[in-house]
Amino acid sequence: MASVAWDYARTGIWRFSRRDAILVALAVLHGVVLAAWPLAPLIAVGVWWNSNTIAHNFIHRPFFRSAGMNRVFSAALSVLLGIPQTLWRDRHLAHHAGVASRLRVSRQLGVETALILSLWATLTLLQPRFFLLAYLPGYLTGLGLCAMQGYWEHATGRPISHYGRIYNFFCFNDGYHAEHHADPAIHWAKLPHRIEASAAASQWPPLLRWLDVRPLEALECLVLRSPCLQRFVLDSHRKAFQDLLSQLDTIRSATIVGGGLFPRTALILRELLPEAHLTIVDSNPRNLETARVFLGGNIEYRNERYLHGGSFDCDLTVIPLCLDGDRAAIYHHPPSPAVLVHDWIWRVRGSGTIVSAVLLKRLNLVRQ
């Protein structure tokens, strides 16, 4: 509480905190650096960094008490980043509200757009080579980095935080993303004091968060984007399921663990067990949404994490190869009367069959 006088000014030009002067000064420095070294990499990094630090914090907590000063600073950021900040603000606040963004025409948006177009027209006329070979590639790369940042901040379907000191020092606590979503009105300087105990977290900052993706999940994403690979995967798995299901009594209900991304198991079981009730259990809501695209609404979807040692009220459980947990425990304590476990081709358990030598994969059948 001793820092209140520094953090929250009651007088002067700052609306919330004198610390925002740091961000204003860095915005000026950003412009100076680009004027001195107008290089594509600096333009790209500048668009990404400024958009996720200075511009982002300004969206939620306009720095100045004066509305006129806020409008001027918004216009300056628009020119610096090539993005109308009024439009950026509307889109970002819609993201926080979980609603679709709508274009709202205003005088401020018109001024910011006109300033950006004037800059682009001037560069095109006076420095066409620079505009086409440096500014434009850098600008588009910066937008791509912003899109990548936004994706990885929500890759699991909910906000993900990163508590690394270096990233949060240079990006002004941008890593506290779950905390920011819990209360978007919190000033950036206060975020480290509001850590969410239940927040999803990653050891990597957003642009490096693809390192969290395991190779099997990356292959799943590749299959998801290729109809040819989907047909191959379905054909190779269908024969294995047919062989093992023939050894079981009538299956009235089946639970598929981790059935998102490309839901091959659910597609095959719906074909082979048309009368059975199918349930997909996946901790990632985005995976469930992907599964719904392929499967429709005649399947039960449960957004929850499979807890090892638990059991399912069903006749059959299917366990994925990319299970995050102890596969051996499932073999020793099957969660339902019959369990089909995707495993590597050299791990023979119970009665099993090879799915594909190319995929190095087999399907094992174990029973309680």
The more confidently predicted of residues 170 and 352 is: 170
Fold classification of 217-367 (topology level): Rossmann fold (3.40.50)
Virtual torsion, Cα 54, 59, 63, 66, nearest 10 deg: 140
How much is the mean pLDDT over the chain? 88
What is the mean predicted confidence (pLDDT) over 232-251?
89
pLDDT of residue 261: 67
Quick: pLDDT tens for 253-293. 999 888 556 788 888 998 899 889 998 888 888 888 888 88
Nearest partner of 120 among 132, 110, 106, judged by Cα: 132
pLDDT of residue 11: 54
The more confidently predicted of residues 235 and 173 is: 173
The Cα 8–Cα 261 span in angstroms is 46
The identity of residue 69, as a single letter, is M
pLDDT of residue 216: 64
Nearest partner of 175 among 196, 190, 186, 191, judged by Cα: 191
pLDDT of residue 43: 97
* DSSP-assigned letter for residue 14: B
CB 327 within 8 A of CB 319: yes
The residue behind tokens 């953090």 is 7
Where are the domains positioned within the chain?
Answer: 4-152, 217-367
What is the mean predicted confidence (pLDDT) over 101-110?
94
The Cα 130–Cα 134 span in angstroms is 5
pLDDT surpassing 90 at residue 306: no
Does residue 313 sit in helix, strand or coil? coil
Helix spans in the chain (H): 4-7, 20-36, 40-52, 54-60, 67-81, 85-97, 107-126, 128-130, 136-152, 165-170, 177-182, 215-224, 227-245, 264-272, 285-295, 327-332
Quick: pLDDT tens for 170-222. 999 999 999 999 999 999 999 999 988 888 888 889 998 877 766 666 677 77
Quick: pLDDT tens for 138-178. 999 999 999 999 999 998 788 999 999 999 999 999 999 99
